Structure 1
Amino acid sequence: MTYSCVQLNDLSDEILLIILKILNNVEVLSSLFNVNKRLNRIVHDSIFTSDLTLLKYLSDDSTYSLPDPLLDRFCSEILPSIDHKIKWFTLESLSMKRILLSTNYPNLNGLGIYNIKMKAALSLFTDAITFTDLFKNQILSFVIEIIDKNCYEPNMNIIIFTNIFKNFPNLKYLNFNPSFICDQYISFNWSSPTIFSSTLLTLHVKVSSVIDCLHLLDGRFNQLHTFYVHTGSAYSRQQSLQINNKEKLPNLKCFSLSSAEQLDLYDEIIIPLLHRMSNLEILMFYFPVSKRKTFIDGNHFKDIVNHMPQLNKFLFNICSFIHLNNKINLPSNEDIQYSFKDFNYNQIISCVNYFRETQCGECHIYSYPYTLRHYYYIRNNFPGGLFKCVRQVSLYDEHPFEHEFFLRIQKSFPLMEKLTLYNKKRQNNKQYRKSKENIEHLSIVEYPYLTNLTLYNTHYDYIEEFLLDTKTCLTNGVYLSLNYKSLKKVTRNFKRNATRINSNKVNRLHISGEFKITEHLKNYFSHAIISNNYYGFI
């Protein structure tokens, strides 16, 4: 360490700052705090002290506390020395109170709390002595991530959500449950909430349905500037038409609506809601739409943007579905693309599919470059492109996926981690490397980041597609889910050498259906923990 300090002291302050900015602030403070006067002066700079993240992130985005010795040093030495410079804390639940009560923070105005259980989140605002009493009027920005898989209580979420505004009356920014791995939603149970704020400018929230979104936009946050909302379920016509959806929202400049569920009252609810946002500058849509007579296309969007003269950014990813019902003159992909000819916001990609077996039509439109972490229900006519942000992909079609299709998918999603496939049609052009003569006719698809592969509702050809080492190269540590009968057939009762290499790369195997754990099965997936719906993990 002494030698390192000599080397650091030989550098100018400007170069030192450039080097130290590469590290996170906790590393800088823990390594150089009180080493010598010069370094101490530098690490006391607001660059390293105004925003502190006192937690560790795992690869799956979960968090855990700092090691006890490091936490002890921060609470006893470092934080008391820089408490007046700290403006933002990012903490996890176990060490949160200890850090916040270790000293005074006169300029703290932002707080992020991650990986907290439901009961612990409730106690933040209900204990006799809480940190909220100390920072009641200081906190302007607040982030809370409730992760509790064993406790989904909408009423408790409402209590926490309400108490945030009661305890932080000057709040300007709130992000309630920001994590994608968290399924906690707010639901007002069709009754009007009791929350009001004349200071809130930005709100990120997950709600149970669009009805809850309407509740939050009924004027109770009259200064709201930015609103990001994700809905978790569908809603009924009767409940939706009882809520006021006419009051103007003149202060709203940015609106983002996303949903994993199909919005079946899009025209009755979403369109009137948008007509209330005449001063909107940024609009983002990410959801599927059902029960419409026509697809959502560029002509439909013109009606939306004509009500928004200030709009300068429009991002979207929408799948709309229609029932064919023996319709004729159905729009082609060229027709949908042409409807965007006067659209000036982004490059637009469209993909139209008609499924005769289910009598369903689908139109997928999205702005490009693509910004989401998932791309679901890709068909054979997938237009391609490069999607470096996407981590989760699903594939579905009524027509078979050939080997060349998987080559295109891997090239388009090079960082894909999770892949789910639905296809009952057998492949037409099955190819095998039976000799050196035809080796050049088949390229192996490599998935260097794939860790989760789901093949339940598929023809066994696709299990073969992924397990044959002449077709696919899997990475180590794959979680594989599939049907027992198909797996047994493809592996030839767990004796086939051609599928053994990829099978040995599976570390978790989940099999649907009743089956016996044979020695052949255990030896074939020698590195895997095996589970099914009946017996759990083995």
Structure 2
Amino acid sequence: MEHSLIQLNDLPDEILMIILKKLYNVEVLYTLIGINKRLNAFVHDSIFTNYLTLMKFFSYSSIRPLSNPILNRFCLVILPEIHHKIKWLNVESSTMERILLATSYPNLYGLGLYNIPAERVKHILTGNTVLSVLFKNQILSLIVHISKNEKQISSDDVNKLIFTDIFTTFTNLQSLNFHPFPTCYQELSFKNSPPTLYSSTLLELYVNVTYFTDCLYLLDGRFNQLHTLYVKISWIWPSSLTIDNMENLPHLKCFSLYCDTYTNVYDELIVPLLHRMLNLEKIGLYLIVCGKNTFIDGHDLKKNILNHMPRLKKFIFNIRSTICLRNQINLPSIEDIQHTFKDCPNNQIISCVDYFLESELGQCHIYSYPYVLKVYHYITNNFPGGYFKHVREVSLFDERPFEHEFFVRIAQSFPFMKKLTVNNEKPQNDKRFKISENDNQLLSIIKYPYLIELDLVEAHDDYIEQFLLHTKTCLPNNVHLSVDYTVLKRVTQTFTRNTTRINCTKLKSLDLNGKYRIPKRIKQYFPHTKIK
């Protein structure tokens, strides 16, 4: 270790800084502070001291405290030494108070509270605690992550109380993120009564709400200086409630609306809300719209949005609209839809149109590219391709079969995909390896290096073969597979088929749909798999 530090100390300043910036700040401080004068000066740089995450973050459902030796060194040595440089702290429930009481933080303005039980959040906000006493007027930016109670999910009323208490405790709050992760249990619902809170300092708000009316309550004037709102709404439905203040929102500059359930009140609710935002400079719309006679296309967006926002600089959207095919004539093609965007500036717009004759539905998917969401649902054979580095969850659906080449495109387009769902009841037309028209070589074995969850419950036998045959697909280790038991038994030839055995041995867990009794041979066929 000493020899390594000597070599590190011999590096030029520029190279040393490049190396250290690739490490976590906590690692840099814990390892190098106090080693020698030069390294000490480096790690005291604001790059390493301004923003500290004093917890182990694996995922939003797996947040752990630092180990005791690391925590002790930080609380006893490191934090007191750099306390005046710290501007933001991320802490978790069990070690939060010890860290906040370890020293004074005169320049701390941002705080992230993670994995905090709801009852504990209520206590630290309303009781005589370190947060309510020491940081009442100091904290300008706050992130609150409420942990999930396995026995009882936090109720709407509890979330509403916590949300209200935040503004009572932090009187100068300018930015609040009340939904740092995609967790439905941290969702606000004001039901039939508006919240009893007001703030003239809040500028930015990130929040999940249950209903569209909850969003309207947030925009009824109680946050009269709000310029940025990111809201995820579970249900956009019509309501009989009357919202008193429906005036324009001149201060709002940035607005993002995300709803992943169907709404049939796009024209009645969403468009009028957007018309109140006269001075928007950036907008994000992520919607699934039904109940209209026509698709939402470039003409619709221009008429209802762009023409009403003269200051708009950036428009990011992902909108899927469906129509009923009964009594429809002159159905638009993908070229027709794409042509409606010919006057749209700045963004590259992608369109995809499908007509499902069996279900008598038409679907039009339009989105700005590059694609920014982590999910991409209802991909069909008309998928135009592309590179989607942010997407982690994908679902496929069509009334026409998916061939091997289609799955090649999916793997190439979504290289970091973790979850894949296939919904297709049509058998493949050609299950054999055939010669590629492009390179006259056998089609390649498809790899999904990051896949951890595969749902084939609503898939034809051919797609179970597509993923289990090692001559077609190379599954990574530790995949969770959901599949119908009868289909799996049929495809694996009663759990004896050799060509599906290799991929089956890689499964971490197996969720079998349908009534069944697990025979002894299934354990031998899935030797490393937990069968549910």
State the alpha-carbon separation in 1 of the partners of residues 120 and 197 from structure 2: 22
Aligned to 1:209: 211
Q: Does the residue aligned with 2:240 lie in a helix, a strand or coil? A: helix
* Aligned-partner residue type, residue 268 of structure 2: E
CA offset at residue 432 of structure 1? 5.5
Contact 1:419 1:453 in 2 (8 A): yes
1:380-407 deviation digits (Å, cap 9, x = unpaired) = 1111111122111000011111111111
State the alpha-carbon separation in 2 of the partners of residues 260 and 328 from structure 1: 29
Q: Does the residue aligned with 1:80 lie in a helix, a strand or coil? A: helix
State the alpha-carbon separation in 2 of the partners of residues 15 and 500 from structure 1: 49
* Aligned-partner residue type, residue 158 of structure 1: K
CA offset at residue 61 of structure 1? 6.9
Aligned to 1:536: none
Aligned length: 524
- TM-score, structure 1 length as denominator? 0.94
CA offset at residue 244 of structure 1? 4.5
Aligned to 2:156: 154
CA offset at residue 346 of structure 1? 0.7
Instruction: Write out aligned runs for 1:212-251 (5 A).
Output: 212-239=214-241, 242-244=242-244, 246-251=246-251
* Aligned-partner residue type, residue 475 of structure 2: L
CA offset at residue 12 of structure 1? 5.0
How large is the RMSD of aligned CA atoms in angstroms? 1.8
Instruction: Write out aligned runs for 1:448-527 (5 A).
Output: 448-527=449-528
1:163-216 deviation digits (Å, cap 9, x = unpaired) = 111101101111102112554211111321112111111111111122111110
CA offset at residue 99 of structure 1? 0.5
* Aligned-partner residue type, residue 246 of structure 1: M
1:504-526 deviation digits (Å, cap 9, x = unpaired) = 11011001112112111111111
State the alpha-carbon separation in 2 of the partners of residues 145 and 331 from structure 1: 45
CA offset at residue 115 of structure 1? 2.1
Cα 1:79/1:360, change in 2 over 3 Å: same
Aligned to 1:535: none
Cα 1:173/1:520, change in 2 over 3 Å: same
State the alpha-carbon separation in 2 of the partners of residues 167 and 158 from structure 1: 15
1:21-70 deviation digits (Å, cap 9, x = unpaired) = 23222112111222233433332232222211111122677321111111
Q: Does the residue aligned with 1:262 lie in a helix, a strand or coil? A: strand
Aligned to 2:386: 385
1:404-462 deviation digits (Å, cap 9, x = unpaired) = 111111111112111001111112222169xxxxx954432111111110011111111
CA offset at residue 81 of structure 1? 1.8
1:89-136 deviation digits (Å, cap 9, x = unpaired) = 011122111101122112111001122222222222133334222100
Cα 1:38/1:347, change in 2 over 3 Å: closer
Of 147-156 and 207-216, more deviation after overlay is shown by: 147-156
Contact 1:317 1:365 in 2 (8 A): yes
- TM-score, structure 2 length as denominator? 0.95
CA offset at residue 72 of structure 1? 0.9
State the alpha-carbon separation in 1 of the partners of residues 47 and 469 from structure 2: 53
Q: Does the residue aligned with 2:332 lie in a helix, a strand or coil? A: coil
Instruction: Write out aligned runs for 1:259-274 (5 A).
Output: 259-274=259-274
State the alpha-carbon separation in 2 of the partners of residues 86 and 456 from structure 1: 50
Aligned to 2:123: 123
Cα 1:444/1:36, change in 2 over 3 Å: closer
CA offset at residue 469 of structure 1? 1.0
| % identical aligned pairs | 56
Aligned to 2:64: 64
Contact 2:101 2:130 in 1 (8 A): no
Instruction: Write out aligned runs for 1:336-355 (5 A).
Output: 336-355=337-356
Contact 1:101 1:131 in 2 (8 A): no
Contact 2:90 2:111 in 1 (8 A): yes
Instruction: Write out aligned runs for 1:24-63 (5 A).
Output: 24-58=24-58, 62-63=62-63
CA offset at residue 258 of structure 1? 0.6
Aligned to 2:437: none
Aligned to 2:416: 415
* Aligned-partner residue type, residue 201 of structure 1: L
Contact 1:146 1:182 in 2 (8 A): no
Aligned to 1:403: 404
* Aligned-partner residue type, residue 495 of structure 1: T
Aligned to 1:427: 428
Q: Does the residue aligned with 2:261 lie in a helix, a strand or coil? A: coil
What are the ranges of 5 or more consecutive residues in structure 2 without an aligned counterpart? 435-439
Contact 1:394 1:420 in 2 (8 A): yes
State the alpha-carbon separation in 2 of the partners of residues 474 and 328 from structure 1: 45
Instruction: Write out aligned runs for 1:307-326 (5 A).
Output: 307-326=308-327
Contact 1:232 1:261 in 2 (8 A): yes
* Aligned-partner residue type, residue 106 of structure 1: P
State the alpha-carbon separation in 1 of the partners of residues 59 and 279 from structure 2: 40
State the alpha-carbon separation in 2 of the partners of residues 6 and 384 from structure 1: 50
Contact 1:285 1:317 in 2 (8 A): yes
State the alpha-carbon separation in 2 of the partners of residues 404 and 17 from structure 1: 46
Of 102-111 and 271-280, more deviation after overlay is shown by: 102-111
Q: Does the residue aligned with 1:238 lie in a helix, a strand or coil? A: coil
State the alpha-carbon separation in 1 of the partners of residues 165 and 45 from structure 2: 35
Q: 1:187 aligns with which of 189, 194, 199?
A: 189
Q: 1:173 aligns with which of 156, 175, 190?
A: 175
Contact 1:190 1:212 in 2 (8 A): no
* Aligned-partner residue type, residue 271 of structure 1: V
CA offset at residue 15 of structure 1? 4.6
Q: Does the residue aligned with 2:90 lie in a helix, a strand or coil? A: strand
1:201-255 deviation digits (Å, cap 9, x = unpaired) = 111111112211111011111111111111122423434xx22573111111111
Contact 1:237 1:265 in 2 (8 A): no
Contact 2:433 2:442 in 1 (8 A): no
State the alpha-carbon separation in 2 of the partners of residues 383 and 264 from structure 1: 27
Contact 1:291 1:322 in 2 (8 A): yes
State the alpha-carbon separation in 1 of the partners of residues 244 and 514 from structure 2: 49
Aligned to 1:83: 83
* Aligned-partner residue type, residue 231 of structure 2: V
Instruction: Write out aligned runs for 1:353-368 (5 A).
Output: 353-368=354-369
Cα 1:26/1:294, change in 2 over 3 Å: same
Aligned to 1:288: 288
CA offset at residue 140 of structure 1? 0.1
State the alpha-carbon separation in 2 of the partners of residues 146 and 79 from structure 1: 26
State the alpha-carbon separation in 1 of the partners of residues 245 and 359 from structure 2: 35
Q: Does the residue aligned with 1:113 lie in a helix, a strand or coil? A: strand
Aligned to 1:199: 201
Aligned to 2:332: 331
CA offset at residue 148 of structure 1? 0.5
* Aligned-partner residue type, residue 55 of structure 1: M
Q: Does the residue aligned with 1:208 lie in a helix, a strand or coil? A: strand
Q: Does the residue aligned with 2:364 lie in a helix, a strand or coil? A: strand
* Aligned-partner residue type, residue 406 of structure 2: F
Aligned to 2:395: 394
State the alpha-carbon separation in 2 of the partners of residues 389 and 275 from structure 1: 31
